[in-house]
Amino acid sequence: MSAAKYDVPPKGGFSFDLCRRNDMLLKNGVQPPSFRKTGTTIVGLIFQDGVILGADTRATEGPIVCDKNCEKIHYMAPNIYCCGAGTAADTEAVTDMVSSQLKLHRYHTGRESRVVTALTLLKSHLFSYQGYVQAALVLGGVDVTGPHLHTIYPHGSTDTLPFATMGSGSLAAMAVFESKYREGLTRQEGVDMVAEAICSGIFNDLGSGSNVDICVITKGNVEYLRNHKLPNPRTYVCEKGYSFPKPIEVLLTKVVPLREKVKVIEGDAMEE
């Protein structure tokens, strides 16, 4: 008797079955779809009482602005937040996943999450994918050991700095920090400097734009300043409003009800 053949489940890892097809389509001039990216300016600094994070609110898809007011400062834990640059789906998925892991860790230990725990989880995940998860992050928070600020690159490398910038507008924002940052900044001085750095990225980088979001993290308190500044307001709005032509009706609006005819047959009930 011949041995029966069973379908073996596929092994884990990446599947490269469609590489030849995609290569053929690319050679024939078919361009692959673009990703929604947050071509971004994200920054962070340490001040005397904690950490301040900042980000712009423009999301782009190639040359198109697909979202003028997106959120790039993601919740990680009650005392930890993270700014994301790169592919929007990757930044949201990675931060949501690690935020869930931190919550389970808090339930298990009964203690406040530490920033270094979030840093280790994020960089381990990104390193395992060798840069294919396109998420560049600025992680900040305050725990029992004090304020912390880290940058995490898509390949998993990290930096620990008193001020940091990432994204396509990072050079313009870094120019503000390097010329004006000093130790012992007050809360108001830190918020103003972060807002100025984000505005510098907004006005000098095409991938950054719209508004300024700021998150101030101190011991036992978080203040999320959504749309703290609106440097690009609409300067002209038509007083008469906008009128659009009546759309062409393609389908008829007449409804024809369908009547179902049911034939009832009387007889004895079925017996077991």
- As annotated, the active-site residues are 40
Q: In what order do the strands lie in the sheet with 212-218?
A: 163-166, 42-47, 50-56, 212-218, 221-229
Contacts of 30 (CB under 8 A, 6+ apart): none
Residues 151-187: b if buried by 16+ CB within 10 A, e if exposed? bbbbebebeeeebbbbbbbbebbbebbeeebeeebee
Contact 120, 139 (CB under 8 A): no
DSSP-derived letter for residue 183 is: T
Contact 84, 136 (CB under 8 A): yes
How many residues can be counted in the chain? 272
